[in-house]
A and B are shown apart, each in its own frame.
Chain A
Amino acid sequence: MSVLRTDHATMRFGGVTAVDDLNIHVEKGEIVAVIGPNGAGKTTAFNQITGVYTPTEGKIFFEPIGSDQERDITGMRPDRIVALGIARTFQNIRLFSKQTVLDNVLISQHLHVKSSLIGAVAYWPNYWKEEKAMREHAMALLERVGLAENANDIATSLPYGLQRRLEIARALSTNPKLLLLDEPAAGMNPTETQDLTSFVRQIRDEYNLSVLLIEHHMQIVMDISDRIYVLDFGKTIADGVPDVIQNDPRVIKAYLGVDEDA
């Protein structure tokens, strides 16, 4: 059973069809890429999967954490979908700007808190244990991505590259099964891009993830992906393994004139 499966998912805004009959699937442990020119509907597709938009037509199925049955998550509230095991990063970094690096990661664990508000405020022993565990988990994650020294810095005081890393750490902190990365390499130089490639592979292995990513950096996409979907004007114009996609004339045509270092 696929971890994620979209079934004729379509998104229409008034007269515009942003996503047209999307049928993608992600298998356990795969890294799948969605590519295409700007405005092709990639982020919209992400938004459908994460519950921000309800598909105008079609359905989305996901196999939640700890289950092997797929569930219809079409139109579910975003925070519920996160609880089931999908986490994401954003194209334009959306960190919690006034909070520290550590707090940003801690917030992603809030959904797992069992104590009530009263319990948390009254500092009952159960909550104290939860808080301690959350902090340890968060620090471990920060150490994993190399941000442990910055734990008490304000999130937006970090350089751009580190902010991107923080976003990924924050998403990982929700304990996901499927990780959606929206242009994780945007604004990175070649060295950082290399680091990112191996990083994504490593976390996929360490945290038992499946990954769906949107990217413009063809280097990463070709290096890292098991399979690729190509979108153009909302339609899926090609899908397959990197070698096939690289040589597909329709893909080359869609990308004509688009610089690789977009």
Chain B
Amino acid sequence: MSGFNGSTYPGLIGMVNPHRRRNITLSCIAILIFIAFLYLAQHGFILDSYGVRVLRLCMVYSICALSLNLIQGYTGQFSLGSAGFMAVGAYTTAILSMPDETRNAVYYLAPMAGWLQKLHLPYGLALLLGGLLAGVVAFLIGFPVLRLKGDYLSIATLGFSEIIRIVLNNAQSVSNGATGLKSIPATANLWWCFGALVLILLFMTRLFRSSYGRAFMAIRDDEVAAEAMGVPIFKHKMMAFIASAVIAGIGGGLLASVMGAITPVLFRHLMSYDILLVMVLGGTGTMTGAILGGSLFIIAKEALRFMDSGFAIGPIRIPAIAGLRMVVFSVLLMIVVLFYRSGLSGGKEFSWDRIFSRHGKKREKVGSEK
């Protein structure tokens, strides 16, 4: 008998996935294979140094896309401030991990500020500090900005991102101004990038299986209802914002090391657009999507490089046009935005179950009658 008087249920135990063992085994095998691949790549076997660099960039952009996913995909706050937080992380990491000789060479227009000269940190700590500093900046920005509704938040975060860039452009003795930093030590090899990516993935997976993750998603789905269920909205938006910024800062710190040179121009609004579109390309609200989008972005940019130097489609010869690949990429993105809004991942996370259910088993359509 249905109704409000209750009915029997199978209990918590029945909800465990029957294929759990298989899934965990498969995941472990996949990870081991990937680690082996990384090992070989790092030592020059499968990929050349160019390929390794591309791989590192893929991971860095995936991390940045994950950061945006946290605040936007999961918590529903439309933030265009990625570039600013990445810049904070990048500059902090680069400056602190640069050895003295390099500093003197790089800061040739004006010497580095006195208080800064004494600060040195090993790369790992500099990276962490970069992330934390980005978090602090987010905390400060968050107060005025997180009370704004969707559209205004995007402009406000974009604005703050630009302010950070302008400050970096002007603070000659700290950031070396418009010249930027070069000869940044390339400490962030495949293992650093992969390690950071894995840790961040672990963090986010754990987060979104916890009560806090549910609260974030509730804010995304219906802020008014979330508040009516006792979730302190501002506090949680702030938490998500800070966490997102810390991850972006780490991404920026890794980026600085992978690229070897950074300037304020790198972190203009186009970078925030890049990260947003990467996330959308992969599929907003999924971690799988962030990784897919980030990787595809970098790989496509490289793969389409041939367009910039002239190529032929059959009998038609297309001349060398600098920047053509970005236009093609932009058009591709617009197509995804307009017609495939849930992105490459289709809004779902990667799951072994779905792969296996495609083979053979007939899918039953379950009616929703009650």
Contacts and interface: CB of A to CB of B under 8 A. Distances in A.
A146 interface: yes
A127 B221 CA distance: 25
Nearest to A162: B370
B353 to A, nearest CB: 13
Residue among B9, B12, B218, B229 with the most chain A CB within 10 A? B229
A196 B4 CA distance: 7
B228 A136 contact: no
B217 A131 contact: no
A220 to B, nearest CB: 13
Interface stretch (A19-27, A58-66, A116-124, A241-249): A116-124
B226 A107 contact: yes
A37 to B, nearest CB: 25
Contacts of A149: 7, 9-10
Contacts of B233: 79
Given A107-B215, A131-B211, A157-B368, A148 B230 contact: no
A186 interface: no
A186 B370 CA distance: 19
B223 to A, nearest CB: 10
A117 B222 contact: no
A96 B370 CA distance: 21
A208 interface: no
B211 A99 contact: no
A97 B221 contact: yes
A120 B211 CA distance: 8
A88 B8 CA distance: 27
Given A82-B228, A131-B211, A136-B12, A96 B6 contact: no
Interface in A138-168: 139, 142-146, 148-149, 151-152, 157-159, 162, 165
A133 to B, nearest CB: 11
A121 B8 CA distance: 33
B203 interface: yes
A111 B218 CA distance: 13
B231 A146 contact: no
Interface of A: 50, 52, 77-80, 82-83, 87-88, 90, 94-99, 103, 106-111, 113, 117, 120-123, 127, 130-131, 134-136, 139, 142-146, 148-149, 151-152, 157-159, 162, 165, 170-171, 173-174, 195-196, 198-199, 202
Contacts of A134: 211
B207 interface: yes
Interface string B273-307: 00000000000000000000000000000000000
Contacts of A145: 4, 6
B346 to A, nearest CB: 14
A235 B284 CA distance: 47
Interface in B215-263: 215, 217-218, 220-222, 224-233, 239, 243
Nearest to B235: A79
Contacts of B212: 110, 113, 117, 120-121
B226 A146 contact: no
B18 to A, nearest CB: 14
B214 A146 contact: no
Contact of B227 (A78, A96, A196, A202): A78
B315 interface: no
B224 A52 contact: yes
B357 interface: no
Given A99-B218, A110-B212, 13 more contacts: A52-B224, A80-B232, A95-B222, A97-B222, A107-B231, A117-B212, A120-B206, A120-B210, A134-B211, A146-B6, A146-B7, A174-B229, A198-B4
B3 interface: yes
Interface in B1-46: 2-12, 15
Contacts of B211: 106-107, 109-110, 113, 120, 130-131, 134
Contact of A195 (B4, B231, B370): B4
A78 to B, nearest CB: 5
Contacts of A146: 2-7
B135 to A, nearest CB: 12
Contacts of B215: 107, 110
Nearest to B202: A121
6 contacts: A78-B227, A99-B221, A139-B12, A145-B4, A151-B15, A196-B4
B217 A152 contact: no
Contact of B214 (A80, A107, A144, A157): A107
Contact of A143 (B6, B203, B221, B368): B6
Given A120-B212, A131-B210, A94 B15 contact: no
A164 to B, nearest CB: 11
A170 B12 CA distance: 19
Contacts of A83: 230
A155 to B, nearest CB: 9
Nearest to A98: B221
B370 A79 contact: no
Nearest to B206: A121
Interface string B62-84: 00000000000000000000000
Contact of B230 (A110, A120, A131, A152): A110
